[in-house]
Amino acid sequence: MSGVSLAVAPPTEPDQTTNSAVKPMEKPLHRQQQQQQPAVGSVMGSLRVIELQLIAFIMVFSISGLVPLLDLVFPAFATAYFLALSRLAFPSYGRTSGSQEIFQGGRLFRLYVILGTTVGLFLPLAYVLGGFARGDEHAVRSATPHLFLLSCQILTENIISGLSLFSPPVRALVPLLYTVRRIFVIMDWIRDVWLNKTLPANANLQDVAWYWFGRILAVANLLYFSINLFVFLIPKFLPRAFEAYFRDRDEIHAKMAEDKRSAAANQAQAQAQQADKKSD
């Protein structure tokens, strides 16, 4: 759960049976709903802009030298692992569309997602940009690995969610795997701002505010993503993905078995008819 891919609901297809039964007095309302559909399309189109921005962030972070080698290699390893899972362990059966959400929450859940996007993406980005402006290399270096991995996570989620190649378990493992890695990165961030960074004796009010902003932001990220991992992703998000996957798999296997039985019955009936014709 990145906060971007889950914050936008998938577009809904119009129900043909409902459209055929619309009363004359309800047709103006139906036309009004159809006029609102381009707005949804414009929101989904804006995701393409977000992906381009994420690619730009990833490229800048990669060539800046501020991201450790292990964190640079991690997205490539994770992508190869997801591809292997989609081929070997959890192949897609094509029953769920790529844009379908695994978990659809209410208004409080969307507020929770927006909070995570603000705490995990926007404020750390402001912290890094502010560090560049203030010449605080320590702040830039401590928060950049988290931003790099989160950008890779959001980009991977957006791409995988639009491809039917990836089944729900694989899609659910993307935020889970990235969140586990980022928690360790955030712990390094906390150690940098709480143990390795000190204020000068003659620090002014702006320096003190900036110092505590970095400290509180690092702790807030650790709290949010720890809760996200242990309260949402593991007990709720992941089981729901596996439940949908195995339900679709069982339905497909049952349908295949029924088709085989029907084909065998038809073949036996045809053979019986041929035998009757020969006996006649």
Report the amino acid identity of residue 94.
Answer: G
pLDDT 10s digits, 163-212: 888 999 999 999 999 999 999 999 999 999 999 988 888 889 999 999 99
Taking the C-alpha atoms of residue 178 and residue 180, their distance in angstroms, rounded to an integer, is 5
pLDDT for res 17: 41
Taking the C-alpha atoms of residue 31 and residue 275, their distance in angstroms, rounded to an integer, is 61
Within 10 angstroms of residue 183's Cβ, the number of other Cβ atoms is 17
More confident residue, 257 or 177: 177
pLDDT for res 97: 44
The DSSP bridge partners found for residue 91 are 166
pLDDT at 18 over 70: no
Structure tokens at 64: 């800046």
Taking the C-alpha atoms of residue 101 and residue 49, their distance in angstroms, rounded to an integer, is 21
pLDDT for res 213: 97
pLDDT for res 81: 97
Structure tokens at 54: 């994420």
φ, ψ dihedrals at 166, nearest 5°: -100, 130
> In sequence order, which residues have a C-beta less than 8 Å from that of residue 231 and are 6 or more positions away?
none
**What count of residues does the chain have?**
280
pTM equals 0.77
pLDDT at 20 over 70: no
Taking the C-alpha atoms of residue 125 and residue 120, their distance in angstroms, rounded to an integer, is 9
> In sequence order, which residues have a C-beta less than 8 Å from that of residue 152 and are 6 or more positions away?
54, 58, 74, 75, 78, 178
Taking the C-alpha atoms of residue 121 and residue 57, their distance in angstroms, rounded to an integer, is 12
DSSP state of 135: T
The DSSP bridge partners found for residue 166 are 91
Taking the C-alpha atoms of residue 102 and residue 166, their distance in angstroms, rounded to an integer, is 12
Can you give the residue ranges of every domain in the chain? 44-90+97-259
Q: Is 280 exposed, middle or buried (0-12, 13-18, 19+ CB in 10 A)?
A: exposed
Mean model confidence pLDDT for the chain:
81
pLDDT for res 47: 53
Helix axes of 168-194 and 205-227: crossing angle, nearest 10 degrees? 150
More confident residue, 262 or 229: 229
Question: Of 52-61, 155-164, 254-263, which gets the smallest average pLDDT?
Answer: 254-263
pLDDT at 146 over 90: yes
Q: Is 196 exposed, middle or buried (0-12, 13-18, 19+ CB in 10 A)?
A: exposed
CB 220 within 8 A of CB 177: no
pLDDT for res 95: 53
More confident residue, 96 or 154: 154
CB 71 within 8 A of CB 148: yes
